[in-house]
A and B are shown apart, each in its own frame.
Chain A
Amino acid sequence: MNKKDRRRRPHLVVCADVSPRASMPRYFFNLHEADGIAEDPEGSEFPDILAARREAIAGARSIIKDGAGRGIVDLTGWIEVVDADGQPVLTVPFVEAVKLRLPG
């Protein structure tokens, strides 16, 4: 969505749909962990598969960070990205979402 274009509109005026993601493909991000699968019920729209991969990496990092906050770094999980037809299009294992530096 182009911010400059949007700003030309006067405020409080009914106008056309301004949804920024109107015509992009939808991807679903299913999370696989040792204790189960969290299926993505609604999905999100991205311009291409690379953008979906970036989103999956960000998701993995967000979950790894949450675990680290509780004192556990668990890299056994993965995110499977599925397209609107239910076909898996890519997988991001947690171990590939971060670089590990261990002592020794």
Chain B
Amino acid sequence: MIGDVLLRRLQLIGELDDQDRRALLDIRGERRSLRPGEDCLMEGDRPTESVVVLAGLLQRYKLVPQGGRQVHAFYLAGETPSLETIPMEVMDNNLAAVSASEIGAISHAELNRVMEARPRVRMLIWRETLIQGAMFREWLTRNSRLLAHEQLAHFFCEMMTRARAAGVARGDSCELPISQQDLAEALGLAPVHVNRTLQILQASDLLSFRGGVLTVPDLDRLAEAAQFDPTYLHLAGPSGVRRPQ
């Protein structure tokens, strides 16, 4: 189950052969539950395991000295938030559950064994951590360069695209159990501003976001409003060519 989730994520970003797949499926790991808001990794921690999300939603954040937080990323079921802790010694940010979540923890020792035996797996794990970097760059650009309605539209485009890739979207909807406060902390906007902007987007039928469910009837149309280009997600088909949206 845990190795299977890692395998599926890596196959979204590149090719693996049968032996690579078997090595990943042999990974056992340990399943754990997280309560809403519970920290999984914290600043200053020295992790000896990496995490895959089995169910729920995780977030990466940093506390701001004046109070409040900056959220840097959300992680859906099927995604792999902390592979960078394999080569990195100390956590410089926090990883926490947004809603009740299930995670799989895989020891670095086990991951290192697989990577030593299977160079292609090593390369894709490296690529995965670099994609996370590409996503942080996109979030920086979005938060500092786009208008509020474009920021929200961009954020929802990304989450819907990732939910589809991870196989957790249902039709044109996906579960996204975040509050407007969480959204505000991700976008660097005040919650009241997020609420107003969300209502404008909903009034124009670009999306609906209610009760923790995101619905995007026309992703292309939302992508246009958001100036969203999914290249930075580096989602590749088996041939390495980007999948059409």
Mark each residue of chain A from 10 to 51: 1 if its CB lies under 8 Å from any CB of chain B, else 0.
011011011110000000010101000010111010000000
Judge whether B196 and A31 touch: CB under 8 Å.
Answer: yes
**Most chain A beta-carbon contacts within 10 A, residue among B33, B37, B193:** B193
Judge whether B34 and A14 touch: CB under 8 Å.
Answer: yes
Judge whether A14 and B190 touch: CB under 8 Å.
Answer: no
**Most chain A beta-carbon contacts within 10 A, residue among B49, B191, B196:** B196
Q: Closest CB of chain B to A2's CB: distance in Å?
A: 11
Contacts of A19 in B (CB 8 A): 36-37
Judge whether A6 and B42 touch: CB under 8 Å.
Answer: yes
Q: Does B141 contact A (CB under 8 A)?
A: no
Please classify how large the interface on chain B is, using the bins under 10, 10 to 19, 20 to 34, 35 or more: 20 to 34
Mark each residue of chain B from 181 to 221: 1 if its CB lies under 8 Å from any CB of chain A, else 0.
10000000111110111010000000000000000000000
Main secondary structure of the interface of B (DSSP, over half): mixed
Q: Does B41 contact A (CB under 8 A)?
A: yes
Q: Does B38 contact A (CB under 8 A)?
A: yes
Q: Closest CB of chain A to B11's CB: distance in Å?
A: 26
Closest A-chain residue to B49, C-beta based?
A12
Q: Does A99 contact B (CB under 8 A)?
A: no
Judge whether B63 and A62 touch: CB under 8 Å.
Answer: no
Judge whether B40 and A14 touch: CB under 8 Å.
Answer: no
Please classify how large the interface on chain A is, using the bins under 10, 10 to 19, 20 to 34, 35 or more: 20 to 34
Contacts of B45 in A (CB 8 A): 11
> Considering the chains assembled together, what is the distance between the CA atoms of A14 and B35 in angstroms?
8
Judge whether A79 and B38 touch: CB under 8 Å.
Answer: no
**Most chain B beta-carbon contacts within 10 A, residue among A11, A42, A70:** A11
Q: Does A101 contact B (CB under 8 A)?
A: no
Given that A3-B63, A12-B32 are known contacts, is A41 also in contact with B47, CB under 8 Å in the complex? no
Contacts of B42 in A (CB 8 A): 6-7, 9, 11
Given that A12-B49, A14-B38 are known contacts, is A31 also in contact with B192, CB under 8 Å in the complex? yes
Contacts A12-B49, A19-B37 known; list 4 others, CB within 8 Å: A6-B42, A19-B36, A40-B191, A44-B191
Chain A interface (Cβ < 8 Å from any Cβ of B): 3, 6-7, 9, 11-12, 14-15, 17-20, 29, 31, 33, 38, 40-42, 44, 55-56, 58-63, 66, 69-70, 79
29 inter-chain pairs at a CB distance below 8 angstroms, sorted by A residue, are: A7-B44, A11-B39, A11-B42, A12-B32, A12-B51, A14-B33, A14-B34, A14-B35, A14-B38, A15-B38, A17-B38, A18-B37, A18-B38, A18-B39, A19-B36, A19-B37, A31-B192, A31-B195, A38-B199, A41-B180, A41-B195, A55-B190, A59-B190, A59-B192, A59-B193, A61-B190, A63-B190, A63-B196, A66-B148
